[in-house]
A and B are shown apart, each in its own frame.
Chain A
Amino acid sequence: MLQLILSLIAISGIGALLALFLEIADSYIADYGESHILINNEKDLVVEGGSPLLSSLMENEIFIPSACGGKGTCSLCKLRVLAGGGPVLPTETPYLSKEELENDVRLSCQVKVRNDLKIEIPEELFKIKEFRVSIEKVIDLTDDIKSIQLKILTNEEGISFKPGQYVQLKVPKYEMTRESEYRAYSVASSSEASRDLELLITKVADGAVSTYVHDYMKEGEELTINGPYGEFYLQESDKDILLIATGSGLAPLLSILHQIEREKIGRKTTLFFGARTVKDLLYYDEVKDFETRLPDFTFMPTLSRPTEEDRWQGEKGRVTNLIEKYIPENAPLEVYICGSIVMVESCEDLLKKKGISEENIFYDKFE
């Protein structure tokens, strides 16, 4: 009996001692204290050390573009860290060019604030703001794409963005996640209605944010967005416009189509849209309707796997087939591509082979 009690005490004692020891070590070693972040040599920010630079800035309402939620895979969060960033980490090197390395460019989601930092943030990023929004309406467009209509609650003027740009949608922690997560979604609605935004969101298997949006989000719920972000918008020129999208990649292009209509831009515009079956042709009628409203617009959907019932008479195959078939060599085009990485990259390769130069190809890769 005594032995039993003794062993219980001893084993629990050892466990407790180790726990105590770790707890002390943790509070001493992992306590980074306060750090100063000097921004553009003027603004001094005091933050609690130990968190990634990206999230420390975000807590202070300075929003840096990021599509991956800080996982180090999108490389949008690049910033110049002039002092205090420590060595460049192996998680960053794949995304940094030699030139960027020489200029102290870092991925701000990977740099941890461990001591005082000196950083540089492009002026235009200070314009990015955070907004409370309410979910007004959720509509199923296809089996895996939903249209989400939001209303900005924070202010009357809403958000000012260029058609084609994206916002970050932040969803709360839920069953599948350990913390609140955010991802990039392009605005599909016209930039005129600046308080009422529409996003088109594809369900990604096991995706943190898209699953929340598809299976957990309710109408009436309040969330936050921040933005606008991105360089994907219509350039000023008189070249013909070619828009290419698959799936929810249609979103920014819809906003651009609204812009072309509103600003009465007379440039010849073509939209190649790829889907599997007729069921996957989201907003078919709406896009078709632009043909009557815009001065010079052609909508060319193509189906890769039309079914018997579809009775599809139009183009078949992928969007790349349309490029092969309809885009002549060295066409004087400006191309805007949006959708999955694979699609964007194969279109880009093909267009370059056709002699369209890199400066005239713009894209957003959704991943």
Chain B
Amino acid sequence: MADIDAGTLLFAAIFTNNILLTNFLGLCPFLSISREVRSSLGLGVAVVFVMTCTAVINYLVYYYVLVPLHLDHFRYIVFIIIIASFVQLVEISVERFFPALYFVLGIFLPLITVNCAILGASLFLIIREYTLIQSIAYGAGSGIGWMLAIIAVGSIREKLQKTARLPKGLEGPAITLFITGIMALAFMAFSGMIQIQ
């Protein structure tokens, strides 16, 4: 078990060990939805929420159902269906109670089901043997980190669209990978500052 308090872990998950910029997880929605700040924010918020909740649920299911039954090798499939069901539940609730938000998030919510950062976070907290409190901090931190990264790239891309004249071949995903790469380089400088495992 990592000997690290929840507050530090939260901070580490957001900045020094950003799941997107250091582990490169969740790149696919990241590349496709980061065209503008508005939708980046929408998807980001949804990811924070789903990641935090599924981290907790998966933690509980893993330690209180799978481990006692010696079924821990089934964690991938179990985690995936839990994430999928949870996303479904969030979707119908948001549609019912927050119609305006539903339309902002609408198409992004189902995308989260296959966001590998979410599965990644749940798996890391098992592998790194976090406690429940640490898991909550790590889930929330990873979500927030992912959100900040996509908003940053979203705003850069929005600015680029207005000001830069890119060569044809660099438009879209290409330039986004460049930007992400440069940001990831910057984040590399943080690596090792806080030991999180």
Contacts and interface: CB of A to CB of B under 8 A. Distances in A.
Interface in A1-45: 3, 6-7, 10-11, 14-15, 18-19, 21-22, 25-26, 29-30, 32
B89 interface: yes
Nearest to B84: A18
A14 B65 contact: yes
A103 interface: no
A3 to B, nearest CB: 7
A86 B88 CA distance: 23
Contacts of B104: 90
A10 B61 CA distance: 12
Contacts of A21: 85, 89
A112 B61 CA distance: 37
Given A26-B92, A29-B93, A30-B96, A11 B74 contact: yes
Contacts, number: 56
B69 interface: yes
B61 A14 contact: yes
Contacts of A25: 89, 92-93
Given A11-B77, A18-B82, A22-B89, A87 B100 contact: yes
Contact of A14 (B78, B88, B99): B78
A26 B95 CA distance: 11
B182 interface: no
B12 to A, nearest CB: 31
A151 B48 CA distance: 58
Interface in B45-82: 61, 65-66, 69-71, 74, 77-78, 81-82
B78 to A, nearest CB: 6
A359 B71 CA distance: 74
Nearest to B78: A14
A331 interface: no
A89 B100 contact: yes
Contacts of B66: 10
A29 B96 contact: yes
A22 B99 contact: no
A89 B103 contact: yes
Given A6-B69, A86-B100, A11 B78 contact: yes
A114 interface: yes
A140 to B, nearest CB: 39
A344 to B, nearest CB: 29
A114 B78 contact: no
B81 A22 contact: no
Interface string A258-269: 000000000000
A11 B104 CA distance: 35
A112 B99 contact: yes
A89 B103 CA distance: 7
B81 to A, nearest CB: 6
Contacts of B74: 7, 10-11
Contact of B71 (A11, A19, A114): A11
30 contacts: A6-B69, A7-B69, A7-B74, A10-B71, A11-B71, A11-B74, A11-B77, A11-B78, A14-B65, A14-B78, A14-B81, A14-B82, A15-B81, A18-B85, A19-B85, A21-B85, A25-B92, A25-B93, A29-B93, A30-B92, A30-B95, A86-B99, A86-B100, A89-B100, A89-B103, A90-B103, A90-B104, A91-B103, A112-B99, A114-B96
Interface of A: 3, 6-7, 10-11, 14-15, 18-19, 21-22, 25-26, 29-30, 32, 86-91, 112, 114
User: Closest 8 CB pairs between A and B?
Assistant: A18-B85, A87-B100, A89-B103, A29-B96, A90-B103, A29-B92, A30-B92, A86-B99
